[in-house]
Amino acid sequence: MDFYVSWSHSDPFYQMYDGQCSMLISPTSVTSVWKLTRFSKLPYQLMLDSGSYSYISNNLPLPTPREVFKRQLHILDDCDLPTIICPVDVPMLQKTLSLTERNRAIDKTIANACELKILMKDYSQLGKNSKVRCHPIETMAIVQGYDIASIRYCARQLTEIGYSRFGIGSMAHLYDIKEIKKRVEAVQSVVGSKIHIFGISGIEVMEELRKLGITSVDSARPIKAAIYNEILYSEPYLRVGIAGSRFRADNSKFSADRMVSELSLECPCPVCKNEINNDILKLGIRKYLLLRAVHNYYHIKKMIAD
């Protein structure tokens, strides 16, 4: 299973530490002028979603498929990087949505996916006619739904439009692994196992998804854990909290197996370099927060990547 690290402009440059770094960037996580050429080193592969999750959760109107496609191409600029782009899906985040509103969200998700296919066709035609170099872009449709029947319906429609890659959205607010598995299996029953799952923060959930044969997941867990002063280890999986920090013992998402003021494990990650590196425990200094995130990234990827 591929691990895409979700990146925003204040996060560490994970690709400087990992030549095989897969990265997810939302147009909403970077400024409107930001492009990939700002990186001194490109990630290994990239996924550009539409940012729809951020628009909906901030009660903002969604941009059009054309506007988002333009933004995605702007971000890619002149870079020849294998990239997956996503259409503007309509996540159903509010629990108060009526059945009509939910069905409308699914229909809009399908219509937008259809429009991206047309935009892509024009784009590759443009490349053929004007000999302009086109980016190595693949599209990935996002399945939305509120129950098994609606999820299957959406997946079937997206298959008919001609998509062969699929992502499942609206999972970030689902903490119940059984519900997540049910939804994933519903999509798999229509499209097979070539599926990406968006916004998964729990390591246990990632592990379950790997067992289901999922192609890839993305997560911002490395930096989020670092912000919550959590240090992760793989083999065996261990969560260490920094003693004396504002580590929230009551936060079930970020709870530690133990609290420490000094580390005792040598770590093979690119920032610890086979040593016991107590620098990643230092609080309140951005440099060490970023190093902690890279350390966490290394271990999460090791735990779930093939």
Distance in angstroms (rounded) separating the CA atoms of residues 208 and 203: 9
Helices (H), the chain: 52-57, 65-76, 99-130, 148-161, 177-191, 203-211, 221-227, 286-304
Query: Of 17-25, 89-97, 133-141, 287-295, which part binds Zn ion (CB under 5 A)?
Result: 287-295
Residue 52 CB, nearest approach to Zn ion (Å): 34
Minimum CB distance to Zn ion smaller for 46 or for 267? 267
Size of interface with Zn ion, in residues (CB under 5 A): 4
Distance CA 112, CA 168 (A): 15
How far, in Å, CA of 121 to CA of 119, rounded? 5
We find the least distance from the C-beta atom of residue 266 to Zn ion, in angstroms, to be: 9
Beta bridge partners of residue 238, listed in sequence order: 233
Residue 218 φ/ψ, nearest 5 degrees: -125, 155
The angle formed by the CA atoms of residues 235, 295 and 278, to the nearest 5 degrees, is 100
Q: Which of residues 42-101 bind Zn ion (CB under 5 A)?
A: none
> For Zn ion, which stretch binds (CB under 5 A), given 79-87, 117-125, 226-234, 259-267?
259-267
By CB under 5 A, residue 272 contacts Zn ion: yes
Report 102-131 residues binding Zn ion (CB under 5 A). none
Nearer to Zn ion, 116 or 272 (CB): 272
Residue 267 as a binder of Zn ion (CB under 5 A): the answer is yes
For residue 242, list its beta bridge partners: 260
Q: Is 269 in the site for Zn ion (CB under 5 A)?
A: yes
The helix, strand and coil proportions of the chain, stated in percent and rounded to the nearest 5, come to 40, 15, 40
- What CA–CA distance (Å, rounded) separates 93 from 188? 22
Question: In this complex, which beta carbon is closest to Zn ion, that of residue 171 or of residue 272?
Answer: 272
Q: Which of 4, 295, 296, 303 binds Zn ion (CB under 5 A)?
A: 295
Per-residue contact flags (x/-) with Zn ion for residues 167 to 206, judged by CB under 5 A: ----------------------------------------
Burial 219-236 (b: 16+ CB within 10 A, else e): bbbbbbbbebbbbbbbee
Q: Which residue, 225 or 267, has its beta carbon nearer to Zn ion?
A: 267
Q: Fill in the per-residue mask, 218 to 257: x = in contact with Zn ion (CB under 5 A), - = not in contact.
A: ----------------------------------------
Residues near Zn ion (CB under 5 A) are 267, 269, 272, 295
